[in-house]
Amino acid sequence: MGSEPAAPAIDTVLGELERVVAELEAGDLPLEIALRRFEDGVRLARQGGQLLDAVEQRVEMLLEGREGSVPFPGADVQDEDEGDDDDDSV
């Protein structure tokens, strides 16, 4: 019934990306294979970014309407104009 395959879990994508990076860092691959693995890595990095964006959107939807309350311990809620207060030397 499902026409589209399910997207892989972020953990799966990150695991595959880590394997690709390890293979490339080892430096033992012939150039043509290294190029293919690099292409795989770029694809995985983009896919992981899309998955993280989707997770971020879901979290934002869940936290919508919390009126500035801290979403979890240790989180720091700031207004946008408060970010530059650390640089008083100018």
User: What DSSP line would sit under 59-88, residue for residue?
Assistant: HHHHHTT-TT--SSTT-----GGGTTTT--
* pLDDT the model gives residue 65: 72
Calpha distance 47→25 (Å, rounded): 21
What is the pTM for the complete model shown? 0.61
Q: 24: closest CA among 13, 12, 38?
A: 38
86 against 31, higher pLDDT: 31
Residue bearing tokens 């691959």: 29
For the chain, give the percent of residues with pLDDT over 70.
64
Calpha distance 79→18 (Å, rounded): 36
Calpha distance 68→57 (Å, rounded): 17
* pLDDT the model gives residue 1: 47
Give the residue extent of every domain in the chain.
10-64
- Whether residue 77 has pLDDT greater than 70: no
Averaged pLDDT of the chain: 80
